[in-house]
């Protein structure tokens, strides 16, 4: 069963349960997944990552603006989206992938971070956020 089909089933269940907030979040996910499918563009995980990131950024903006209730709604939507994403890679495993990528790319300084990132990201796609990866790459390159 595809992610889209799972989300569509969950919309039906949320409707039956009367969970309006969840229905809203799930319909947004369905809409974005269908749009990506029509455009033939990004895969499901990329769509989910993008939408989760948007919610977290919106939550931060609301919180900075003093609208804590709205921020909490955005954070709950991000959690719902996250529940459809692959499980995140443990730090030890990610460090090993980063270490291998540093060796493979021959990078030795922070200036070569892009080389390492281009090796790591395809290997961890959907299982580690770019921000987390870049922190570990910086650490591995000693900067």
Alpha-carbon torsion 75, 77, 80, 85, what sign? negative
Query: What distance in Å separates the CA atoms of residue 105 and residue 3, rounded to the nearest whole number?
Result: 34
Start-end of CATH 1.10.10.410 domains in the chain: 91-140
**What pLDDT, in 10s, does the model give residues 119-133?**
999 888 878 888 889
- Does the domain at 3-82 match CATH 1.10.1510.10? Answer given as yes
**What pLDDT, in 10s, does the model give residues 53-94?**
999 999 999 999 999 999 999 999 999 999 998 888 998 999
Start-end of CATH 1.10.1510.10 domains in the chain: 3-82
Task: Write the CB contacts of 20 (distance below 8 Å, at least 6 apart in sequence).
Answer: none
**Residue 50: Cβ-neighbour burial (10 angstroms; 0-12, 13-18, 19+):** middle
pTM (2 decimals)? 0.74
- Does the domain at 91-140 match CATH 1.10.10.410? Answer given as yes
Q: Is the pLDDT of residue 143 over 70?
A: no
């Amino acid at each position: 069963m595809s992610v889209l089909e799972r989300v569509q089933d969950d919309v039906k269940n949320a409707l039956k349960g009367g969970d309006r907030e969840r229905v809203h979040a799930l319909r947004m996910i369905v809409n974005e997944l269908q749009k990506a499918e029509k455009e033939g563009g990004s895969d499901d995980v990329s769509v989910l990552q993008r939408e989760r990131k948007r919610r977290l950024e919106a939550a931060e903006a609301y919180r900075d603006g003093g609208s804590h209730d709205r921020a909490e709604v955005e954070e709950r939507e991000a959690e719902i989206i996250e529940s459809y994403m692959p499980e995140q890679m443990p730090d030890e495993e990610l460090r090993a992938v980063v270490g291998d990528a540093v060796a493979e790319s021959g990078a030795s300084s922070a200036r070569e971070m892009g080389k390492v990132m281009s090796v790591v990201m395809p290997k961890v796609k959907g299982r580690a956020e770019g921000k987390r990866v870049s922190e570990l790459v910086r650490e591995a390159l000693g900067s």
